[in-house]
Structure formats: C-alpha cells, structure tokens
Structure 1
Amino acid sequence: MILIRCLLLAAACALLLFCPPSSFPFPLPLLLTDGQLGRALKFTLALWLVRDINAGLTRWAENRWMWTANGGVWNWSKEIAVVTGGSQGIGAAVVKSLVSHGITVAVLDVQPLSEELQNDKSDLIRFYQCDITSRDAVRQTGEAIRSHHGAPTILINNAGIGNANSILDVTPARLRAIFDVNLLSHWNTVQQFLPDMIANKKGHILSVASLAAFVGLANMTDYCCTKAGLMAFHEGLTQELKHRYGAPQVLTSIVYPSWTQTNLTKAIEKGIRGSGASIVEPADVGKAIAAKVISSTSGQLVLGPGLAASVRALPMWVQEWIRDRMAQVVTVNATTASAAA
C-alpha cells in the first residue's frame, strides 16, 4: 500500500513540477494554477511523499530488507509460544490474546496463574513454575516444554519487576533482583530457545521494554537502566541473527508500553496522573503485543506518545524540561514483583 501511494504521489509531483498547465488536455482548477496555492500544494505533496518514503524504508529495514512478511511459514494452531511472567498483568493479557489465535502458550513464572487463566477452557495454556533468573531452571523448563509440545517458535520476554527507590536508598538485593529479572534473564531464555529457531530458520523473539527506556526517572533509575539495556539487547540480537547466525528469518521485536495498570503503578498513580500521563489497561498492551506476533514482522512498537522514542533527538533544554516534569511521578518507596510500565 505504501509503495503504491508513493508511486501515485511521485507521479502527481512530477506532473505539477514539470508539466505546464497548457499541456494538460483539460483545464486545471484554480488551486493548481494560482501561484501561491500551487506552490503550497506542490510543497504539501512533496512532504507527503518524503514521509511515505521514510515509512516504507523503515518497514523495509525492520523486515530485514525483505519486502514482504514471511507469514506463510506460520501455522498458529501448531505454534508454541513461551511467555515469561505470564501469570499476571501484561503477561496474562498477552497469553489470553495469543490463545485467542489458537497458539499454545507455555507460561514461565514463579507466581501461579491468575484465576482467570486457571479457568480458561481453551486447553492451550501450560504453566511451568520457573525462576527465569536461574540458568539451570530455564534449561530444565526448556527441556520439559520440548518434550511435551516441541520446540517453541515464539519467545516473549515479558517478566519484569520495579523498584521505586532513590539511588541511595535501593538495597543491593533489590538492585540485583531487578537487573536479574528485567535484563539478565533474557540471556537465559534466548540461549535456551534461540538455537532451535536458528536451526529451523523460523522464530520470533519479542522483548517487552518500556517508555522508561527513553527517559530516566528520579526514584526509578534502576528500572530505567534495565529497560534501556533491553533496547541494546534487542538491537544486538537483531544484528547477530543477520550477520553471525545467518538466520534473518528469525524475527525480533521490542515493545515500549506506556504506564500500565499494575501493582507498581498503583503506588504512584497520583504522580502519574499529575504529570498529565494516562494509564492504560494490560489488556490493551496484550492485544498489541499479540497483534505484532500475528503480523509476522520484526520491528519496534511504541505504545504511547510517538515523541517518546525521539526525545533524545530534541534539544537538551527540551529533554531536561521533560525530565523535570516527570521528576515528581515517583516520590514513594515501593517494590513490586509484577511487570511495570
């Protein structure tokens, strides 16, 4: 669709720029012949063309320089997805959305399934109690999943915890825990499930980050660091699949949710709303993540203000003004074992 629109816009721009009005077999509207209006129209069409070309190149790059999605290799009723932290919150919403497409889901979590998931009648949800920060536990769970269902083709690294502590107040134990769960565990799960994807030239690894990856927040420095690190992990994994493992067919995506209604946001909800930000429901995030999987395309998904991903391209004074506005969002001391924004 973008390619067709670009061709049409390019043709329109060429006609207006290089063909005099007298050469047309029919009289042109005043809008096209008037000097100022005509120039404004040409400028608008040119900007529209540049925007669409940029969007098309972005999609092309995200899709590993392939023009079409490789959707033909996916048979959702036969796919196995692994979702970490899938018992509650965003993870549970992702599980429900994937199951609605007929995908079998293996949930890895230290917490039991929510009552809603336990009551699910689809018979497509399998729960594995697993501490994803333990390499050995992930290995044992991976072996069990392959034995029961086969090799997973979809890995959604969703598990996350959050602290609301200042740099001086956070304890070494909580600091280690947040990095272990939010970032280091991705090495455990990817090392466990990626080899089969590479061998089969098919797979999709999706990481759940946060808009906090783009803006450092007072009293959430550790959380922001893990999410910024996750962005680097996603980029490095993408490059290694293309240039080290010879498996560009294995898709990689990263999702940046905005503030989402979880245990952590309950403690700081007043500050969030005071900053003018909204709080979205986990179901909305879960549906968006599942839709990205079903699209069979790589790329990033920003679930919030589009400007957030570009904030570091803004002048420094604007960046600092944004961070100052966010400084009063987190003013309490709190911890949570649930995925945050």
Structure 2
Amino acid sequence: MIRCFILIAAYIALHRAGPPLLNFGDSLPLTWAQIKTLHRGLQWSLALWAIYDFNSMLNRWAENRWLFQTDKRTWNWEQEIAVVTGGSQGIGACVVKKLAFHGINCAVLDVAPLSESFTNDELRLVHYYRCDITSHTDIHRAAEAIRSDLGPPSILVNNAGIGNAYTILDMPMENLRRLFEINLLSHWSTVQEFLPDMIAKKKGHIMSVASLASFVSLAAAVDYSCTKSALLAFHEGLVQELKHRYKCPQIKTTIVHPNWTKSAITAHPAIQAGLKSIGAKLLEAEDVAEAMVKQVIAARSGQLILGPSISPKIRALPTWLQELIRDSQANVVSGNGSTG
C-alpha cells in the first residue's frame, strides 16, 4: 500500500517538474524534442505502474474481506487442527506433511491408507480416518470422531479429486455421478460439518483444489471442467455468505487452480500421451502443496493461480481467441477410462 502511494506521489512530482527535470545539458546527447518524448514516456510508465500497484492493493483488500488488518496473530499452529480430504497420497499427502512440519495436527479423510512416505515424526501429528467422501453419512461419522479425538478443526482442505476420460456421449452415468460427488458435492458435506465451529470461533480457513480447467473446458473432460468451474462459483458464494449471512469475514477462503500436475490423473495413458503431444510441463505435487500451505500459514484468503497468470482472464478475451485456446487443448484428453 505504501509503495502504491509513493508511486502516485512520484508521478505527480514528475508531472509538475516538466521536461527540464531531464535536461542535464551535455551529459545527455539528446535533442529537446527527444528529451520531451522521454519525459512523457516516463510519466506514462510511472502512471501505469501506479495504477497497476493500486489495483493490486485493492485486490488484496477485497480478498481480505475489506479488512485492513489480518488476524495472523490469532493462529497458534501447534493448537490448530486441519482436515485434508484425499490426504493419503499425491498432492494431499504433500499438503499434510507440510502442515505437520508447522506443528499442525492433521486429520486425513481418504479411502486409501496413508502412503509409506510419512515419517514416524510426521505420523505423531497425522491421524487417518477411513472415509468415503461420496457419503454424507461417512463424512459426518468421521467429523464426529475428529471432534472427539482432536477437537474442532480450524482448517479444511478439500483436496480430493478424480478425473474421467470420456466424451459426453460415451460417459457412463455411474462414472459421472461419482466424479461430481467427489469433486464437487463432497464440499457441501465437509463445509456443513466443519464451518459451524469456525463461525462460532470467528476463525478458520477453507481451501479447495480446483484447476485451470475452471477457466477452459476440455474435450473428453467436460465433466471435470464442469466441477472445477462450479468450485469457483462455490467459493465466490461461500465468501458472500460468510460476509453477509454469517457476519464472519474473518474466516479465510482459498481456491487453488493448479496447471497439469504429476498425479494419478496425469499418469493415466489417456492423459499422458496428449500432454506429451503439446509439450506440457507438469508441476510437481510438492510445489503445489508448498503454495497451498504457504497461503494457510500467511492466514490469507485468495485465488492461487499455479500456471499462466492469464488463465482467469481468458473469459474476458474475444470469442475467437477463447476458441483458439480451447482448440489448442482439444486433444490433451483422449481414450476412455477413469483417471482417478
């Protein structure tokens, strides 16, 4: 914020000073017209930089629910409890390990057992609850056990997700339902279970893993794209309800949009060949987890774009440009099968 006002002040000073500010006599072998052009260019550059910085400041303020201060000091990591869905393997396991590094107790909800990558020191802070997140009853049962064993969680990371590789006409309905239940509907169940305690304490952080597919629909992965764009709507609505229905803007929310990441989904032959054909560089699960946990520890809300920064702006581009971008990704997903 301070830098933004310094830039604005510098622009005003440069504007009032006029071209003589740049007239250093013989030290600059420039004509008067060139000096005026340079001065004008500096003015515009400084103005654009100030506008960019001011816009960034407003974005951060909006993400912080129009609050000027963060409540980072209210977080005591060794006393916090985090719930991570799909935390046994992949990105979820990396998130759990990094949260445990900060002393946070972690409750893992997963149908798969914990991977062998967890060390004995980490396992002292990691608690596994076998849970089918497609079942509201299973989630409620696990939530009751977590509250009894550890206490009410203050951090919820909805990480679990799967993919399919079917066209719309070839999609088996049971695969479609399962994907929507895991990638989207489970978020309602987990938030319904854990948000009330956060509201009561006016402290919490809800994070969900979406994808760059939130902004670009992929052929043969329409179901996946639908759930990820729906997650973006879910988080926007959640923020509004926290502010205007529950009067609790202190609760943080983050939605994460990673680019293609090394995982069970991208290891599937139906995806692997397509990614290779476009020369895609895959993110490491460790790097995605690092960005997610850094956001939690900073006690910040927001939208993490782990890929091309233009991704959220694609919908604002002319239609022909949007279509060219979608065309370039049309053959990434091929073949048939479930990728998760």
Q: TM-score band, normalised by the shorter chain?
A: over 0.9
CA contact (8 A) 1:213 1:231 kept: yes
Is 2:331 the partner of 1:333? no
Structure 2 stretches of 5 or more lacking a match? none
Give how far 1:139 is off: 1.0
1:231-270 pair list within 5 angstroms: 231-266=232-267, 267=269, 268-270=271-273
Is 2:296 the partner of 1:293? yes
**Which of 300, 303, 307 in structure 1 is aligned with 2:306?**
303
Structure 1 stretches of 5 or more lacking a match? none
- Which position in structure 2 is the counterpart of 1:39? 40
1:129-144 pair list within 5 angstroms: 129-144=130-145
**5-14 vs 234-243, greater mean Cα deviation:** 5-14
Give how far 1:277 is off: 2.4
Is 2:108 the partner of 1:110? no
Give how far 1:273 is off: 2.9
Give how far 1:308 is off: 1.0
Give how far 1:284 is off: 0.7
CA contact (8 A) 1:205 1:252 kept: yes
Query: Which whole-Å deviations, capped at 9, do the CAs of 1:25-82 have from their partners, x for residues lacking one?
Result: x969859x81000000101000100000000000000000112221011000100000
Secondary structure of 1:300's partner? strand
Give how far 1:148 is off: 0.9
Is 2:231 the partner of 1:230? yes
Secondary structure of 1:117's partner? coil
CA contact (8 A) 1:264 1:334 kept: no
| TM, length-normalised to structure 2 | 0.94
Aligned partners of 1:237, 1:21: CA distance in 2, in Å? 52
CA contact (8 A) 1:64 1:248 kept: yes
Is 2:279 the partner of 1:276? yes
Count of aligned residue pairs for this structure pair: 333
1:35 counterpart letter in structure 2: K
Secondary structure of 1:253's partner? strand
Aligned partners of 1:320, 1:246: CA distance in 2, in Å? 41
Give how far 1:169 is off: 0.9
CA contact (8 A) 1:272 1:329 kept: yes
Task: Output the aligned Cα RMSD.
Answer: 1.8
Aligned partners of 1:305, 1:36: CA distance in 2, in Å? 34
1:16 counterpart letter in structure 2: L
- Which position in structure 2 is the counterpart of 1:16? 14
Aligned partners of 2:262, 2:215: CA distance in 1, in Å? 20
- Which position in structure 1 is the counterpart of 2:199? 198
Aligned partners of 2:118, 2:338: CA distance in 1, in Å? 25
CA contact (8 A) 2:97 2:122 kept: no
1:252 counterpart letter in structure 2: T
- Which position in structure 2 is the counterpart of 1:6? 4
Give the 3 Å change call, closer, same or farther, for CA 119–333 of structure 1 in structure 2. Answer: farther
Aligned partners of 2:45, 2:245: CA distance in 1, in Å? 43
2:321 counterpart letter in structure 1: V
Aligned partners of 1:44, 1:257: CA distance in 2, in Å? 32
2:111 counterpart letter in structure 1: V
CA contact (8 A) 1:93 1:282 kept: yes
Secondary structure of 2:247's partner? coil
1:309 counterpart letter in structure 2: P
**Which of 315, 319, 322 in structure 1 is aligned with 2:318?**
315
Give how far 1:335 is off: 1.0
Give how far 1:4 is off: 1.6
Aligned partners of 2:138, 2:50: CA distance in 1, in Å? 52
Aligned partners of 2:337, 2:219: CA distance in 1, in Å? 13
- Which position in structure 2 is the counterpart of 1:212? 213
**270-279 vs 88-97, greater mean Cα deviation:** 270-279
Is 2:62 the partner of 1:75? no
CA contact (8 A) 1:271 1:330 kept: yes
**292-301 vs 110-119, greater mean Cα deviation:** 110-119
Query: Which whole-Å deviations, capped at 9, do the CAs of 1:65-103 have from their partners, x for residues lacking one?
Result: 112221011000100000000011110111111111111
Give how far 1:334 is off: 2.4
| TM, length-normalised to structure 1 | 0.94
2:17 counterpart letter in structure 1: C
1:15 counterpart letter in structure 2: A
CA contact (8 A) 2:132 2:139 kept: yes
